[in-house]
Amino acid sequence: MEAILDKHDAATNQRRFNALWPRPASTTPSSTIHLFKEIQAKRQAEDENFQPLNVACVFSPPADGNRDIAQLQEDLPQELADNRKEPNKKKEALAAIIADYNARYGTNFDLVTFDGYYQDIQQRIKDQKYPNRDLPHEKKIDLTIVVDMLLTGFDSQYLNTLYVDKNLKHHGLIQAFSRTNRVLNDAKPYGNILDFRAQKAAVDEAITLFSGEAGERAREIWLVDPAPVVAEKFKEAVAAARGRSCSRRGSNAGPRRWRTSRATRPAPPSSSASRRCSACAPSSTSTPTSTPETRRTVEQGMPEDDLRAFRGVYLDLAQDLKARQGKSADPNDPLEQLDFEFVLFDSALIDYDYIMKLIARFSEKGPRSRR
């Protein structure tokens, strides 16, 4: 709990996003939420600037003939097993949790209306998308303690962190981790996993199994380097970007606006280095593994204004050179080997409306003959 409170703001980009905390059995979340309240009250007494996290908890009650809950538990093996042992104790614990939730949010749920309670929690997690000026912080949920619920089938772009305090493996591990990786924009290029169970072997096994790759290649597909490693890569990219600019422009270390001609060949190092700088910067400063030292490395290495300038140079040059590709008869032309990355500079919401517009646009073109 202390570690979560210490790392939560960094992990969630100063609470722009929220988190799930899976626990091993239904009895533990019920006691955890009360202890968490005590620890936060102590911190608030010691520091008047401390802002407590809004903590919720959800696990399914014994079905007791309720078909909806019984059907729900078909996908919740841990909760189903828990509810076969001391079912009355589970009911009492969950009833107390719901009562605490009602007091916090002004709702009126109980065990009979459990489905409404569950839906309300999901909606408040998703409501994280609204700025506090539009929806006050006290109406949202920062952290939700769970057993099995919400670890499969639940998606929210503003959920970015998982505090893992239960053993996971194979499909269940991939499903749980994937709750955090709905890419939003450059503020959320990945999800954060803080593992309190030292499950590196289980993680490696799962990503190897489900990526179809082995060893380090599998980790490269799924996992981001720790912040100190990325900070070192950022320093190297900054040196390359500034070094190229300095060599062309004397002591001026800023980006150069390149002018290209038909004779232009591979992008100058400042351009590829700019891409690396953009990729490394957020990974170095906004993860739970980042430290004040790594954040200073990034901030001192390249101020935000300079980083934007280098991004602009890269984008201008990349668009120019990309427009020239496909026009050479020489298959070995270096220009044809360039691979440009624009995802660092733009984002799109891929939803139902977006997909239907694409389908309509492509269907209007009619059938095309295959070559």
pLDDT in tens, 12-33: 989 999 999 999 887 677 788 8
Give the angle 219-222-223 at the CA atoms, nearest 5°: 70
Q: Which of 114-123, 137-146, 178-187 is predicted least confidently?
A: 178-187
Q: Where are the domains of the chain?
A: 2-222, 227-337
Say yes or no to pLDDT of 275 above 70.
Answer: no
Question: What's at 199, amino acid-wise?
Answer: Q
- Helix, strand, or coil (residue 158): coil
8 Å CB contact between 157 and 129:
yes
8 Å CB contact between 281 and 307:
yes
Task: Give residue 132's pLDDT band: very low, low, confident or very high (50, 70, 90).
Answer: very high
What homologous superfamily is domain 2-222 in, according to CATH?
A: P-loop containing nucleotide triphosphate hydrolases (3.40.50.300)
Q: Is 356 exposed, middle or buried (0-12, 13-18, 19+ CB in 10 A)?
A: exposed
Task: Give residue 339's pLDDT band: very low, low, confident or very high (50, 70, 90).
Answer: low
Mean of pLDDT over the chain: 79
Q: What is the pLDDT of residues 35-52, one digit of tens each?
A: 999 999 999 999 999 999
pTM: 0.67
Q: What per-residue confidence (pLDDT) applies to 261?
A: 42
Say yes or no to pLDDT of 271 above 50.
Answer: no
8 Å CB contact between 231 and 298:
yes
* Element at 270 (helix H, strand E): helix 269-285
How close are the terminal C-alpha atoms of the chain, in Å? 61
Q: What per-residue confidence (pLDDT) applies to 1?
A: 93
